[in-house]
Amino acid sequence: MKGLVLSGGYGTRLRPLTHTGPKQLIPIANKPNIQYCIEDLRDAGITDIGIILGNVMPEKVQEFLGDGSKFGVKFTYIVQGEPKGIAHAVWCAKEFMGKDPFVMYLGDNLLKNGIRAIPKMMVDEKADCVISLMPVAEPQRYGIAELSEDGKKVLRCVEKPKMPKSNLAVIGVYAFNHKFFEVYPKLKPSWRNEMEITDAISLLIDSGFKVVPHRVEGWWKDTGKPEDILEANHLILDMIQSSNEGKVEDGASVVGRVRIGKGTVVTGGSVVKGPSIIGENCKIGPNAYIGPYTAVGDRCEVARAEVDDSIVMDDTVINVERKIVRSMIGKGSKILSANGLLPKGERLVVGENTTIYL
DSSP, res 19: G
* Residue 105 near residue 173, CB atoms below 8 Å: yes
Confidence of residue 55 (pLDDT cuts 50, 70, 90): confident
**pLDDT at 162 > cutoff 80:** yes
Spatial CB neighbours of 33, under 8 Å, sequence gap ≥ 6: 23, 24, 25, 26, 27, 107, 108, 109, 110, 223, 232
What is the residue extent of each domain of the chain? 2-224, 243-357
- Cα→Cα distances 164→96, 143, 150, Å: 35, 9, 19
The whole-number pLDDT of residue 67 equals 95
Q: Report whether CATH 3.90.550.10 matches the domain 2-224.
A: yes
| Rounded CA separation 22/19 (Å) | 8
Q: Quick one: angle between helices 58-65 and 33-43, nearest 10? A: 50
- Segment 329-353, tens digit of pLDDT: 888 888 887 665 555 566 666 666 6
pTM for this predicted structure: 0.86
In this predicted model, which residue has the larger pLDDT, 169 or 13?
Answer: 169
**pLDDT at 177 > cutoff 90:** yes
Please state whether the peptide bond connecting residue 119 to the residue before it is cis, i.e. omega within 30 degrees of 0.
no
Secondary structure of residue 73 in the 3-state scheme: coil
Starting from the edge strand earliest in sequence, which strands make up the sheet with 323-325, in order? 253-255, 271-273, 289-290, 306-308, 323-325
b/e string for 278-294 if b means 16 or more Cβ within 10 A? bbbbbbbbeebbbbbbb
Which residues partner with 276 through β-bridges?
258, 294
- Segment 257-297, tens digit of pLDDT: 999 999 999 998 999 999 999 999 999 999 999 999 999 99
Element housing 295 (H / E):
strand 294-296
Confidence of residue 307 (pLDDT cuts 50, 70, 90): very high
Q: Which CATH number does the domain 243-357 belong to among 2.20.25.160, 3.30.420.10, 2.160.10.10, 3.30.70.260?
A: 2.160.10.10
**pLDDT at 9 > cutoff 80:** no
Secondary structure of residue 109 in the 3-state scheme: strand
Quick check: do 2-224 and 243-357 share a fold?
Answer: no
**pLDDT at 98 > cutoff 60:** yes
